[in-house]
């Protein structure tokens, strides 16, 4: 691991639990929280990919709101303005996975530069990281906004290379999303896949360099490096 000088992390689902919105969904729609969260996340991802293919970029907040509107319409749930705002705001206050704060601190102690590289906007990334009190763990909070296209497009991954001022071979990209790890691997980053749930990696022509059960396994790779 001597060649790795920096790490870029995906935000949603990797550092922060997107399904921590379930509680807020339950408050508004009792008994439907998990169902709403699952479909909402699915459509949110689909909308980012489809908009990239169509070259019709919108902010992550807009894609998230559009996905929520679809979800409620599909499930036959009324969505008033107050509920829409409350649920979308939940995406700005996601909970980090339990092991994340300490794992990030241990990585910084090993002299690594750290960044978030996310499909989120600068506002959404700053809100999520700030709400969790983790801003001081990162050198950069990188949004795809300047590239005007979402991951897994190469222009999105190039933002980390530019920010760190390092070759892509020196930057480890870490994600819990197989499609994201695949895109980063095609770009040329060494990759770590956080597989908390025992999932199966996608068949898209790439494999992660490391498969980890949680973020707390990541600092161990650098022990003795």
User: Which residues carry out catalysis?
Assistant: 10
Please, are residues 114 and 108 in contact by the beta-carbon 8 Å criterion? Answer: yes
162 burial (CB, 10 Å; 0-12 / 13-18 / 19+) is exposed
- Using alpha carbons, select from 146, 139, 132, 135 the residue that is nearest to residue 59: 146
- Bridge partners of residue 210, in order along the sequence: 192
Q: Give the span between the Cα atoms of 7 and 98, in whole angstroms.
A: 19
Q: Give the span between the Cα atoms of 183 and 127, in whole angstroms.
A: 26
């Amino acid at each position: 691991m001597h060649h790795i000088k920096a790490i870029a992390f995906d935000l949603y689902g990797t550092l922060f639990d997107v399904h921590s919105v379930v509680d807020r969904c339950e408050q508004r729609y009792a008994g439907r929280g998990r169902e709403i969260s699952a479909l909402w996340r699915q459509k949110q991802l689909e909308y980012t990919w489809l908009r990239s293919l169509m070259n019709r970029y919108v902010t992550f907040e807009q894609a998230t709101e559009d996905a929520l509107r679809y979800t409620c319409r599909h499930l036959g749930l009324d969505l008033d303005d107050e509920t829409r705002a409350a649920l979308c705001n939940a995406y700005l206050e996601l909970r980090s996975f339990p092991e994340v704060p300490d794992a990030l601190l241990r990585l910084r102690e090993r002299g690594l530069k750290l960044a978030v590289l996310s499909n989120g906007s600068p506002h959404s990334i700053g809100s999520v990281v700030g709400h969790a009190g983790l801003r001081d763990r990162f050198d950069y909070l990188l949004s795809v906004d300047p590239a005007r296209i979402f991951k897994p497009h190469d222009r999105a991954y190039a933002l980390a290379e530019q920010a760190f001022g390092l070759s892509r071979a020196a930057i480890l990209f870490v994600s819990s999303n197989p499609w994201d790890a695949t895109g980063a691997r095609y770009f040329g980053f060494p990759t770590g896949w956080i597989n908390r749930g025992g999932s199966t990696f996608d068949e898209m022509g790439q494999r992660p360099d490391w498969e980890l059960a949680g973020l707390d396994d990541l600092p161990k790779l650098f022990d003795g490096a």
